[in-house]
Chain A
């Protein structure tokens, strides 16, 4: 595919990725793209176009469901992810979900280091404190919660919970953060905060964002993909795509002819 040549030295590379839920229906068909380092890449498209399915293939979330079949290859830093263990892969590729999902039994502090705790990675107390403070600082939550670190994560507001979930993902110092419509359950003010946060976070991490909100993609992404019926229709710099879409379907979607 020629599209892949848009990106020089991609951090993450998908090659001929096909995901099918059963033998007859492919949710994602033959997608090949490269994702640029330290940029926000948005995946747009109407509901049911396969954007979340594509995202979840990247950190092998589909492995959980035996009837979902994933074909094709994914390379992270040139290394095939199929050779990585689950824990290593998910340490390198963090994920944030549509609805904030902090662990309800854990404190804010424990939620941030949940990745270490639950995987039995032993670290010293002062190192833990350091990780927690840094992650919460990165998501601009430290000042709001530093006095209530022992309170339950679910005690926070929706927007704070989502930032806590981002903190949980970046506490592992991943290369890539996958976000699956992270603001769709949040109010406009919380959404704005998360968006600003993502723009700041791209200095350190590579961000892939699934969104059904075109305006959001336009506001914060550097590169955009447009998917339709499981196929990647167009991929390029967000500015170019919004000003001058190449494919007719992209244009129709962006001008609101369908959604």
Chain B
């Protein structure tokens, strides 16, 4: 009798083990399906783009259509590069960071310090809404604010403004979350030494949460550097390397769009995309590394 019972038990256990294995297998499959696009994208970009990546890709500006056509019809690589895009992206992202980082961190600190106040809750909600606003709408807003009223024409400043608005909610929330992670006892230690409020924030809390703030900033940059739509309405694009913030300027994602519209430049699409992808990937990995090291 008891032996029969034991066998029955064993059978049940075996069925459970089988179920467990099937379930693990399904999860594994799904997770593979989830990560497979990024693997295919990277393989695709490398195989199609690597030919165009050479020194001149980083040191020369975009070729004109005729040059590209001649090269393509002779089966040669397209001359020129995306220097104008790289410098443009760099300029606009820097400008956007200068605008968004200090404001974002200060608002984040405000939300942390006054977390339950009514006004803070409103600000937090609006920040969340801002994060959900389509980027092209931000481009339109910047068009009406900056292009029409400040620079009287498409400009790097207008592009940076749109990007800065995109960065703000990301930095605000990451700052607030970072500060929430800092133990309250650290703050109390500073208070007990008679340290004034502003010094507690700038000399104790910000250094303590520095890696968290940096991570938020890096992720925000990697988020905006690939933005195309708002730049079409604001920065427009340019064939030259320019550092004038009142004039139209190029950016890497804008160039990808331009290459797409020119049948002779197709090969440059892949190379530029590869460059952008590697840049964003590096920023993401860097922020991951910073988080891990700080724990």
Contacts and interface: CB of A to CB of B under 8 A. Distances in A.
Given A104-B186, A105-B210, A118 B195 contact: yes
B208 A103 contact: yes
Interface centre among B183, B194, B200 (most CB of A within 10 A): B194
B192 interface: yes
Nearest to B202: A118
A200 interface: no
Interface in B199-214: 199-200, 203-204, 207-208, 210
Contact of A115 (B183, B186, B193, B200): B193
A198 interface: no
Contact of A90 (B193, B204, B207): B193
Nearest to B200: A118
A59 B192 contact: yes
A100 to B, nearest CB: 9
10 contacts: A85-B194, A87-B194, A90-B192, A90-B194, A91-B194, A98-B185, A103-B190, A115-B194, A118-B195, A118-B200
Given A103-B204, A105-B208, A88 B194 contact: yes
Interface of A: 59, 61, 64, 85-91, 94-95, 97-99, 101-105, 114-115, 117-120, 165, 168-169, 172
B191 A97 contact: no
A94 B203 CA distance: 20
A101 B185 contact: yes
Contacts of B199: 118-120
B194 A97 contact: no
B195 A165 contact: no
B188 interface: yes
Given A61-B188, A103-B204, A120-B199, A114 B183 contact: no
Contacts, number: 67
B189 interface: yes
A218 B193 CA distance: 29
B204 A61 contact: no
Contact of B189 (A64, A101, A119): A101
Interface centre among B185, B189, B193, B195 (most CB of A within 10 A): B193
Interface residues of B, number: 19
B195 A119 contact: yes
Nearest to A99: B185
B196 interface: yes
B188 A118 contact: no
B188 A119 contact: no
A118 B192 contact: no
Given A105-B207, A118-B199, A119-B199, A165 B189 contact: yes
Contacts of A90: 191-194
B252 to A, nearest CB: 36
Given A59-B192, A97-B192, 11 more contacts: A64-B191, A90-B191, A95-B192, A97-B185, A101-B183, A101-B185, A105-B208, A114-B193, A118-B195, A119-B194, A168-B193
A103 B203 CA distance: 10
B190 A118 contact: yes
A72 B211 CA distance: 44
